[in-house]
Structure 1
């Protein structure tokens, strides 16, 4: 078993329960409720990078990290998202105490002896804590805590400030060209170009935003990773407003776009949208935007600033960072970089569940507490269900999606009351999906995260497999209705629980 590691925040030891948000931060000799060993997985699933995390946790935590696990602090950054909402704290405490996993009260000072093991691993420059996009608090992930999967050699956000100014990656020097595709030209009257000094600059974009800006919540997820990179409140100007500046006339079927790519054609990362999606927002979706703010703050370079595209319903590959060029085209089909790599580029976000905590071992007869999150895709989320089966029972025929398992409903957590990570802890007025008082119009909200918990009855001695799944608003059970991997992660997660006599 690896040695334990403790996280420090602002010079204080921080003990937190990522399962649902139990945190204790303080000085002196506070007490923490400590559970038995819990196994925690990466929110991408329990196989991603072998990302198993062993911990002692209920109101505090002492992480046990394999050196290969992706749960890393980088560049000495503290993990501010380990301070959790009070309502989640109460729900978590109730879950674990009811489940009987609390084994005692341990002074936090006694755990400081292992602080030396808490040195951050500096070997992975891009890694962020993988729970950043899945934790219940802050519900909106702080910009510094997003996981980074940026492309580029070197990474554009790693360039010096002088180089960023030179290539247009600062707010003062950013320019966006809007052009007709030379190979499949659309008929436009007024292309926006650097050559004639008509390219859109940042100040002009903000000016448009004074009347045209929109903001909406969205979880940013990579198609090929599956786990959340971060949950944000994104703000910007609808893409259609920028397209209109070029005065298109006819032969316009798609828009494709790319960002800064180190002036190397081999590094171009391109995505595209149908012009119909640019013009209209079907099914009450927010518009596609040129984003310049995240959680009320100007977009950081690492998050794709000064300006990036954000497509509400799609995976992250559509939301290109460091936007520099828009092309209006008569091309009939997608020309996305991801399409050339075998991915389904017309697949909106899926609904699926993953486990954040589960006891690795329990005593016979002890209740079993499990917690996790669900990505709420385009189909919405009706419920999360869990199942635990003895490995001694034979599988019933050909049932790859476990439809014949005994599933029971988990409990979905309510929406936060205090939206930490936002200015004042409040939702700004006129935010898509929220009412005038800043409350969600529906919950769970589509295109975001939800959190769940379940307490399972005690079991006799043996080896068991735990699973979780979602049921969407159309009644489709995960991994349906789109089970294929190249259209996004939706595989049902399986985890082993040992019940000792």
Structure 2
């Protein structure tokens, strides 16, 4: 399937870097399409239609007949968001937003708020139970706190919970929690949690979680709930995320790790040079270096070294940011935590919560069989998969690929 076009496609200059990055052997084996497309620089932007989907719901709400979508608020014209005080708690707010009395937040009202409050930022979406990112884009929305303040929060407030459409079936509900502190005050240099309605300059499709979804910048994808319908203030001291019931770490933030590009050959002529490339997810700990290791399968592995810390790793190049597409973006202001508002250049590259490209120098290999690995060194000096090698808080294993070089 060809990528779906969108009006700001020319701003992002998609595909000019040649190889689409992102190896995911599990998804490819299942016949699934995955991977961001890159512009000339180190920034990878995924067209909306090319994100890999992880979604819940039977039936999926955006696949219902259009009449039913209108009825349940799956189109912008009929979308409504309720914001309430949790009836199971003693939280107090002065102005709840309810459907039954006509005070629920509509898309039109959200767009009025967006005129003065909207922001855009780059973020990668990753499922903590999959080995590779699902996609990377420029998301636009209104900080959640700017809407919650309209409800007049008063007291007994410790968390907000939220969920999307669930076919009116309690067994299908997917609820997430966020600490009140995180919603109302961003940590230094951090991006806001937001009510998101655009991706890459276009309104969200139902497949991407539209009309409106939550966006939590430092978190894995399950926190950025799609098809948002209801938010509750609660005094509950402990979160009760639906995802926790699946033996998942619901408080994990994004990890830093590297992956090979999806055009990595499994067979190569000794006459040709091998050029390794790929992308790296930049988690909360930042990114200092990407490295690779080419090992003859007959060479011994480092003893008692499961993370290969003593292996002869070689440095790859992190591709610099050029970003002509970002510079020409006409949507909501780029968030100043990521971009200088005057130059529209990144304050640092790579940036936390995003994807960047890497490439290694071409190498010639003698005939034989090889193992190829890549890893990251984060900004604090930790080599992947450290400091959190635990898969339930996000998979960041060192990727291995096999290569046969023939005469």
Structure 2: distance between partners of 1:174 and 1:485: 36
Q: 1:234 to 1:275 in 2, by over 3 A?
A: same
How much does 1:500 deviate? Answer: 2.7
1:336-347 superposed matches below 5 A: 336-347=241-252
Return the alpha-carbon distance in structure 2 between the equivalents of residues 262 and 343 of structure 1.
24
Which residue pairs with 2:346 in the alignment? 440
Shift in Å at residue 263 of structure 1?
0.7
Q: CA deviation at 1:19?
A: 9.8
Cα separation, partners in 2 of 1:396 and 1:22, compared to 1, 3 Å: closer
Whole-angstrom distance in 2 between the partners of 1:8 and 1:130: 11
TM-score of the pair, normalised by structure 2: 0.90
Find the counterpart in structure 2 of residue 163 from structure 1: 68
User: 485-494 vs 244-253, which deviates more?
Assistant: 244-253
* 1:431 corresponds to which of 334, 343, 347: 334
Q: Deviations over 1:392-418 (max 9, x none)?
A: 122222211111110011011122343
The two structures, once aligned, show a CA RMSD in angstroms of 2.5
Query: How many Å apart are 1:365 and its aligned residue?
Result: 7.1
Q: Aligned-pair distance for 1:429? A: 6.8
1:22 has 2:18 as partner: yes
Indicate whether 1:388 and 2:294 are aligned.
Answer: yes
CA distance in 2, matches of 1:343, 1:210: 38
Shift of 1:176: 0.9
Classify the secondary structure of the residue corresponding to 1:291.
strand
Deviation by residue 1:447-470 (Cα, 9 ceiling, x = unmatched):
111111113533333221110000
Deviation, 1:304, is 1.1
1:86 aligned partner:
none
After TM superposition, the structure 1 = structure 2 runs for residues 6-405 of structure 1, keeping only pairs within 5 Å, are 21-22=17-18, 43-44=23-24, 46=25, 48-49=26-27, 51=28, 68-70=30-32, 129-131=33-35, 133=36, 135-136=38-39, 139-356=44-261, 357-364=263-270, 366-405=272-311
Q: Is this contact kept in 2: 1:365–1:460, CA < 8 A?
A: no
Query: Normalized per residue, which structure has more strand?
Result: 1
- How many residue pairs are counted as aligned between the two chains? 393
* Structure 2 partner of 1:95: none
Q: Distance in 2 between matches of 1:20 and 1:229?
A: 20
d(CA) in 2 for partners of 1:167, 1:358: 44
1:215-264 deviations in whole A, cap 9, x for unaligned? 11111111112322221111111111222122111110000100111111
8 Å contact 1:367–1:455 — kept in the other structure? no
**Gaps spanning 5+ residues in structure 2: where?**
6-13
Map Cα deviations across residues 415-474 of structure 1 (whole Å, 9 max, x no partner): 23432xx7x953657302122232222111211111111135333332211100001101
How far is the alpha carbon of 1:362 from its aligned partner?
Answer: 3.0
Map Cα deviations across residues 312-358 of structure 1 (whole Å, 9 max, x no partner).
11111001111100011011122111111111111111110000133
Report Cα offsets for 1:139-180 as digits up to 9, x if no partner.
322222222222111111111211011111121211111111
Distance 1:209 1:272, change over 3 A: same
TM-score, normalisation: structure 1: 0.74
Conserved? CA contact 1:287–1:312, under 8 Å:
yes
Q: Per-residue displacement from partner, 1:42-62 (whole Å, max 9, x unpaired)?
A: 633x3x14x36xxxxxxxxxx
- Distance verdict in 2 for CA 1:294–1:19, change over 3 Å: closer
More displaced, 283-292 or 427-436? 427-436
3-state DSSP class of the match of 1:234? Answer: strand
